[in-house]
């Protein structure tokens, strides 16, 4: 089970001080947060991609490459990479380059993006979001698994005898997660390729994501990648902790009430009752997060949103200290009773080992056929 952070990279006024951090301050802060994530023992750090205010992360691979140079164990990912408005050729090349620089500590989460104006900025139409995601990933998958690609599709110029460079590290592509809030077509896509499915699990009640994840698990088994409970599932989540739960509620309330995403809507109490958000003590956080397993089954990756809504860096780092204190109990709780046949989250090392084992088995089968002949 992997635990980590994801950031949407918002730049938001701190409602308690009226101070808005600069882009420079937020970019430097995100590096400090990633380094802190490794220091407290987290496994993954993921950053989003946006091309509009109030966000700063327009070039995730640049940020992740810098973080790779300042960390040694942290798995680097995205949340999400826009498969609809990016050229699949550029995605293939950028992430293969990052994969080499980070010694394989790279995967990526693909998503459609839901900011309407961004699509025409990159020559696309949001009404074609699903077809774009399907076609562009088909090409990306081929660019990573075939040395020479001929391609003709609906949304980009054809390719003739094209080789994406550099090739993936050890000829093994970065593992791909497909992220979605509401689209069964994306769950179907993830299942078809045997990739991971990441449910945002932030804004809506668990019943909504139970349906999406259940559908993905069924289709994963249908396509022959394994049993339904062996499908590769990731979940989002968010929290604000203090030693005393009343202190957590009092301190976080102004940030919640003014957050660009969910502020000025349901009350904090309603939102914590109906969604995965935990605002309370470390024990309350632990109990609620462990309940995700009851709702969704055993899964592979849990990422938390912490640096948002105008929270200052000092407060975010304090939150991570508290997370680090309960992390051993969180790991133990998810590990207890986990069936042996449920896989861990894929890593570069595990994917290389699986590739080599498959090749060795094929060689043995070939030798046996030759002996029989």
- How do residues 69-126 score in pLDDT, each as one tens digit? 999 999 999 999 999 999 999 999 999 999 999 999 999 999 998 777 889 999 999 9
DSSP letter for 228, please. Answer: G
pLDDT exceeds cutoff 90 at 205? no
Closest by CA position to 239, among listed 290, 293, 295: 290
pLDDT exceeds cutoff 90 at 370? no
Which residues, other chains included, contact 16 with Cβ-Cβ below 8 Å and sequence gap of 6+?
254, 255
Which residues, other chains included, contact 169 with Cβ-Cβ below 8 Å and sequence gap of 6+?
96, 99, 100, 103, 104, 348
The architecture in CATH of the region 2-372 reads Alpha-Beta Barrel (3.20)
Length of the chain: 373
Rounded to whole angstroms, how far apart are CA atoms 198 and 181?
9
Contacts 24+ apart (CB under 8 A), 350-356: 351/172, 351/175, 352/170, 352/172, 355/171, 355/172
CA angle 335, 341, 345 (to 5 degrees): 65
pTM: 0.95
Reported as a single tens digit per residue, the pLDDT across 122-178 is: 999 999 999 999 999 999 999 999 999 999 999 999 999 999 999 999 999 999 999
More confident residue, 365 or 318: 318
Rounded to whole angstroms, how far apart are CA atoms 271 and 356?
47
Confidence of residue 263 (pLDDT cuts 50, 70, 90): low
Which residues, other chains included, contact 273 with Cβ-Cβ below 8 Å and sequence gap of 6+?
none
Tell me how far CA of residue 42 lies from CA of 76, 224, 228, in angstroms.
11, 32, 27
- How far is CA 6 from its chain centroid? 7
Percentage with pLDDT > 90 across the chain: 88
Domain layout of the chain by residue ranges: 2-372
Mean pLDDT, the chain, whole residue set: 95
Burial of 31 (0-12, 13-18, 19+ CB in 10 A): middle
């Amino acid at each position: 089970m992997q635990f980590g952070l994801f950031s949407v990279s918002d730049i938001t006024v701190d409602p308690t001080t009226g101070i808005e951090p600069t882009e420079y301050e937020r970019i430097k802060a995100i590096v400090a947060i990633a380094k802190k994530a490794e220091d407290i023992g987290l496994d993954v750090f993921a950053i989003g991609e946006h091309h509009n205010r109030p966000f700063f992360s327009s070039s995730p691979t640049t940020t992740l490459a810098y973080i790779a140079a300042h960390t040694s164990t942290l798995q680097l990912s995205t949340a999400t990479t826009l498969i609809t408005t990016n050229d699949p050729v550029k995605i293939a090349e950028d992430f293969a380059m990052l994969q080499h620089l980070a010694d394989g500590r790279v995967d990526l989460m693909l998503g459609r993006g839901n900011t309407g104006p961004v699509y025409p900025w990159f020559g696309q139409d949001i009404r074609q979001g699903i077809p774009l995601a399907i076609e562009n990933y088909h090409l990306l998958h081929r660019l990573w698994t075939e040395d020479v690609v001929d391609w003709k599709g609906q949304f980009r110029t054809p390719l003739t005898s094209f080789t994406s460079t550099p090739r993936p590290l050890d000829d093994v592509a970065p593992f791909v997660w497909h992220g979605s809030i509401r689209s069964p077509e994306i769950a179907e896509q993830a299942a078809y390729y045997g990739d991971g499915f990441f449910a945002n699990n932030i804004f809506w009640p668990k019943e909504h994501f139970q349906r999406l994840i259940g559908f993905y698990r069924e289709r994963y088994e249908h396509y022959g990648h394994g049993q339904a409970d062996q499908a590769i599932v990731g979940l989002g989540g968010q929290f604000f902790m203090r030693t005393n739960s009343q202190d957590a509620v009092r301190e976080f309330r102004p940030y919640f009430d003014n957050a660009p995403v969910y502020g000025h809507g349901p009350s904090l109490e309603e939102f914590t009752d109906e969604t995965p958000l935990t605002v309370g003590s470390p024990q309350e956080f632990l109990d609620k997060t462990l309940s995700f397993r009851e709702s969704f089954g055993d899964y592979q990756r849990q990422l938390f949103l912490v640096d948002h809504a105008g929270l200052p860096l000092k407060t975010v780092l304090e939150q991570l200290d508290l997370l680090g204190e309960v992390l051993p109990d969180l790991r133990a709780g998810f590990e207890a009773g986990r069936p042996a046949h449920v896989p861990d989250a894929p890593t570069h090392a595990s994917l290389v080992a699986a590739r080599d084992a498959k090749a060795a088995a094929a060689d043995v089968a070939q030798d046996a056929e030759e002996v029989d002949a």
